[in-house]
Amino acid sequence: MVREICVDLGGDRSYKVIIAAGILDETGRLLGAETGQPRVMLISNPLVFSLYGQQVVEALQSAGLRVSTALMPDGEEYKNMQQVNHMLDEAMAANLERSSLILALGGGVVGDLAGFTASIFQRGIRYIQVPTTLLAQVDSSVGGKTAVNHPQGKNMIGTFHQPDLVIIDTLTLNTLTEREYLAGLGEVVKYGIIYDSDFFQLLEDKAALLKDREQETVQEVVCRCIKIKSEIVAEDERESGLRMILNLGHTFGHSIEKLGNYKSSKHGEAVAVGTMLASLLAQEMGLLDKPSVDRIASLFDKLGISASLPAYNPDDIYEGMLNDKKVKNDKLRIVVPREIGGYKIIENPDRSMLIKIIKRAASL
C-alpha cells in the first residue's frame, strides 16, 4: 500500500510525501513524474550508500535521469561548512544547473546538509528527501529546516528551504541499529503527547509491533507522524508560534545532549528524557494528572526506550537549558503536555521549580 500526504504550503510550494515499503525502486519514476527529467546529484554517506545507493542510482538511471554521487563522512561532527564546501565543489564538477536536483539519501545529518547545500547553490535549487532513519522519516525530512553546525553551536547556520518531494521507504528501517531505531521512536511519542491523543492510544495498543518494526505498523505510524508534522508546518512554516510545540522535550534534551558532549545520548534518547521531565513539570503545574504521567512513562517503557535521567548535576542541566538557542529575548520557554493530546508553553518557569523536577526525575 502506498500512502501519500500533501504538505500544503499553498500553490506550487506544496509537496508530496510518499510512504511505502520497497518504494526506493520507484525513485526515478516518481522524480521524473514530479520534476521533469533533470540532472540529479545524490548526497549520502558511505554506510547508507553501501546499503541503498546502487538501488537508487539504478532506479534514477532507468528513468532516464543523469546521476552523479557525492559522499560525506558519517557522523554529526561532519554536518559542517567544510562538507558544504565539498558538496558545492561536487555540484560544480557535475555541472549542476538551476534546473538540477539534489537528492538526500540518509538520516537527518545527510538531509540537513544536502538541504542546506541545495538552498545556497545558484541561489537555491530543488531537492528531494529520501530519509533512511526513523528520526528523519518522522521528523527532519519534512518541514524545510536545513542546517549545519558551527563550533559554537548546533544548527547555527541554516535556511528554510522546502523539499520538492519526500520519498519514504520504510523497509530501510530494517537495517538501523536497535539504538538508532529506538532514538527515532523518542520523537514519535512526542506527536501523540502534544497533538493527538488517539495517536497516543494507537502507540500504546501497538507498542509491541512497533518495537519489533512490523511493517504495517511502522508505515501507519510514520504516516500519522508526517500528517501531524505537515499540519503544523502548513500552519506555521517559520516557527513563529505553533511549530514550537515540536520542541517538546527538546529544551531539557538539548542540555542533556550537550552535557554528554553529544556522545553519551543520542538526540532522540535525550528528547525522551526531556519529555519525561516536561511531563513532570506539567504535573507540578497542575496541567497533567499523575495517571497521565504514568501512561507516558509506561509507553516509553513498552517501546523499550529508557527515559531515565543520566546522573548530571541539576544546576548544570538548568544552565544548559538557559543557553539553548530556543531561549528568545532571554526568556526560557518550555513546551509541556496539557492532558495527553494538548500542550502549553511555559515562559520563564521558576528556577527552583525546575531544579525540584530535575531532582525528582533523578530519583525515579
Ligand X SMILES: NC(=O)c1ccc[n+]([C@@H]2O[C@H](COP(=O)([O-])OP(=O)(O)OC[C@H]3O[C@@H](n4cnc5c(N)ncnc54)[C@H](O)[C@@H]3O)[C@@H](O)[C@H]2O)c1
Residue 263 in grid coordinates: 556522545
The stretch near ligand X (CB under 6 A) out of 17-25, 27-35, 129-137, 328-336 is 129-137
Contact set for ligand X, span 243-272 (CB under 6 A) = 267
Considering the complex, what minimum distance in angstroms separates the CB of residue 123 from ligand X?
20
Told to judge if 258 belongs to the known catalytic residues of this protein, a careful annotator would answer no
Residue nearest to ligand X (CB): 108
Active site residue 290: no
Would residue 348 show up in a list of annotated catalytic residues for this protein?
no
- Pairing assessment for the beta strands 145-150 and 333-337 based on DSSP bridges: unpaired
Backbone angles phi, psi at 187, to 5 degrees: -75, -30
Q: Which residues ranging from 36 to 95 are in contact with ligand X (CB under 6 A)?
A: 45, 47-48, 51, 74, 76, 79
Q: Is 20 helix (H, G, I), strand (E, B) or coil?
A: strand
Buried-exposed string 74-88: b where 16+ CB fall within 10 A, e elsewhere: bebebbbeebbebbb
Is 302 one of the annotated active-site residues of the chain?
Answer: no
- In the complex, least distance from residue 293 CB atom to ligand X, rounded to whole angstroms: 25
CB 145 within 8 A of CB 160: yes
Letters for 158-197 (x = contact with ligand X by CB under 6 A, - = none) are: --------------x--xx---x-----------------
155 is catalytic: no
Q: Which is nearer to ligand X, 15 or 292 (CB)?
A: 15
Select 270 or 299, whichever has its Cβ closest to ligand X. Answer: 270
Residue 96 host element (H or E): none
CB 59 within 8 A of CB 24: yes
Q: Is 86 a catalytic residue?
A: no
Q: Identify which of residues 126 and 145 has a Cβ nearer to ligand X in the complex.
A: 145
**Is 269 a residue of the active site?**
no
Report if residue 107 touches ligand X, rule: CB under 6 A: yes
- Chain-centroid distance of CA 92 in Å reads 29
Q: What distances in angstroms separate CA 314 from CA 62, 173, 276, 292, 351, one per listed residue?
A: 56, 35, 15, 24, 11
Q: Which is nearer to ligand X, 263 or 290 (CB)?
A: 263
Catalytic residue status for 98: no
Point out the catalytic residue in the list 126, 190, 224, 267: 267
The whole-angstrom separation of Cα 251 and Cα 255 is 7
C-alpha closest to that of 185 among 343, 337, 310, 304 = 304
Q: How big is the chain, counted in residues?
A: 364
Find the part of the chain contacting ligand X (CB under 6 A) among 121-129, 133-141, 215-223, 298-306: 133-141
CB nearer to ligand X: give 112 or 196. 112
Q: Identify which of 68, 79, 69, 72 has the alpha carbon closest to the alpha carbon of residue 108.
A: 79
Alpha carbons 7 and 10: distance in angstroms, whole number: 9
Give catalytic status of residue 254 as yes or no.
yes
- Parallel/antiparallel/unpaired status of strands 39-44 and 101-106: parallel
Is there a catalytic annotation at residue 229?
Answer: yes
Where do contacts with ligand X occur on this chain (CB under 6 A)?
Answer: 45, 47-48, 51, 74, 76, 79, 106-110, 112, 132-133, 135-136, 139-140, 143, 145, 155, 172, 175-176, 180, 267
Residues designated as active site: 123, 145, 187, 229, 239, 243, 247, 250, 254, 267
